[in-house]
């Protein structure tokens, strides 16, 4: 409901564009997992594909509940979630949480290798790095305190993923701003939230703004899998997204 409060300038429409599963796409790029890259290249639903492997059924037979569990497991895993943590979050038994995590790594084995490699690289270098070589220093990876060390290890895995996603949308924002200025677009970029950009758009510029935004977002960085952006229009943020 709070999104209804966000409105465009008088006489304008609200336009929202957001990346589709950008962090998992970055994970596919960094890990070079063949199966994950194939799912994205073929335009399939990654969460349904994971659920199909875990629950041993065809992708078309996956239920909404199974897909939801897989989705939350998929995103949790790239943040280094534990069996206990996933069981708590999904309110499911620990053996089912273990099945989801094991099933993920069975489906995408190179992701597990990437995670172990990420921790090892931070132990050697002292920092994690995004695709644009922005660094996050993690000295706690050498801590004798297991809890503190575990937090640094999860950051070693996640910082390159979340950090790269953040870098990519910043590049897109700069390029969109430059295109608007160069092409005399009066519409404005007004808000950025995680993987989403929002605009106040004059009706006569709708087609040009949508084309520019999607083009620049999808070409901000060339991953090993396609970058995909979805969009919507409305009189406020809630309607547009």
For 24-53, what is each residue's pLDDT tens digit?
A: 999 999 999 999 999 999 998 889 988 888
- For residues 22 and 118, give the distance between their C-alpha atoms in angstroms, rounded to a whole number: 19
pLDDT in tens, 72-91: 888 888 887 888 888 988 88
Please tell me which residue in 18, 33, 167, 195 is annotated as part of the active site.
18
- For residues 201 and 180, give the distance between their C-alpha atoms in angstroms, rounded to a whole number: 11
Residue 58 above 90 pLDDT?
A: no
Confidence at residue 3, expressed as pLDDT on a 0 to 100 scale: 94
**188: confidence class by pLDDT, cuts 50, 70, 90:** very high
Nearest to 220 by CA among 184, 189, 174: 174
Averaged pLDDT for residues 152-158: 94
Confidence at residue 90, expressed as pLDDT on a 0 to 100 scale: 85
Confidence at residue 158, expressed as pLDDT on a 0 to 100 scale: 93
For the whole model, what pTM was predicted? 0.92
Residue in the structure block whose two tokens are 């979050």: 89
**56: confidence class by pLDDT, cuts 50, 70, 90:** confident
Averaged pLDDT for residues 154-172: 96
Averaged pLDDT for residues 165-179: 98
How many percent of the chain have pLDDT more than 90? 75
Confidence at residue 69, expressed as pLDDT on a 0 to 100 scale: 87
Nearest to 240 by CA among 201, 185, 188, 187: 201
Confidence at residue 191, expressed as pLDDT on a 0 to 100 scale: 95
User: For residues 58, 89, 108 and 215, what is the CA-based torsion angle, rounded to 10 degrees?
Assistant: 90
Confidence at residue 13, expressed as pLDDT on a 0 to 100 scale: 98
**Whole-number average pLDDT of the chain:** 94
How many percent of the chain have pLDDT more than 70? 100
- For residues 19 and 238, give the distance between their C-alpha atoms in angstroms, rounded to a whole number: 17
- For residues 175 and 132, give the distance between their C-alpha atoms in angstroms, rounded to a whole number: 16
Contact status, residue 43 vs residue 230, Cβ threshold 8 Å: no
- For residues 108 and 35, give the distance between their C-alpha atoms in angstroms, rounded to a whole number: 6
Q: Is 60 a catalytic residue?
A: no
Averaged pLDDT for residues 189-202: 97
pLDDT in tens, 93-139: 899 889 888 888 888 999 999 999 999 999 999 999 999 999 999 99
Confidence at residue 45, expressed as pLDDT on a 0 to 100 scale: 87
């Amino acid at each position: 409901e709070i999104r209804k409060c966000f409105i465009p300038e008088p006489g304008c429409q609200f336009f929202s564009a957001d990346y589709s599963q950008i962090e998992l796409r970055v994970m596919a790029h960094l890990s070079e997992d063949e199966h994950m890259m194939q799912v994205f290249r073929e335009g399939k639903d990654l969460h349904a594909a994971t659920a199909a492997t875990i629950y041993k059924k065809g992708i078309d037979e996956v239920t909404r509940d199974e897909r939801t569990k897989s989705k939350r497991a998929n995103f949790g895993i790239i943040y280094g979630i534990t069996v206990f943590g996933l069981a708590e979050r999904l309110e499911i038994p620990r053996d089912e949480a273990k099945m989801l995590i094991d099933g993920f790594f069975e489906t995408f084995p190179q992701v597990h290798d990437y995670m172990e490699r990420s921790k090892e690289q931070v132990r050697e270098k002292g920092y994690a790095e995004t695709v644009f070589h922005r660094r996050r220093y993690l000295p706690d990876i050498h801590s004798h305190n297991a809890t503190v060390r575990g937090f640094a290890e999860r950051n070693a895995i996640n910082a390159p993923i979340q950090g790269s996603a953040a870098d990519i949308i910043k590049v897109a924002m700069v390029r969109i701003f430059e295109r608007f200025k160069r092409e005399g677009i009066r519409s404005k970029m007004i808000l950025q939230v995680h993987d989403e950009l929002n605009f106040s758009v004059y009706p006569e510029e709708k087609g040009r703004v949508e084309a520019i935004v999607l083009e620049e977002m999808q070409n901000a960085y060339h991953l090993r899998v396609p970058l995909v952006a979805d969009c919507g229009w409305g009189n406020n943020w809630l309607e547009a997204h």
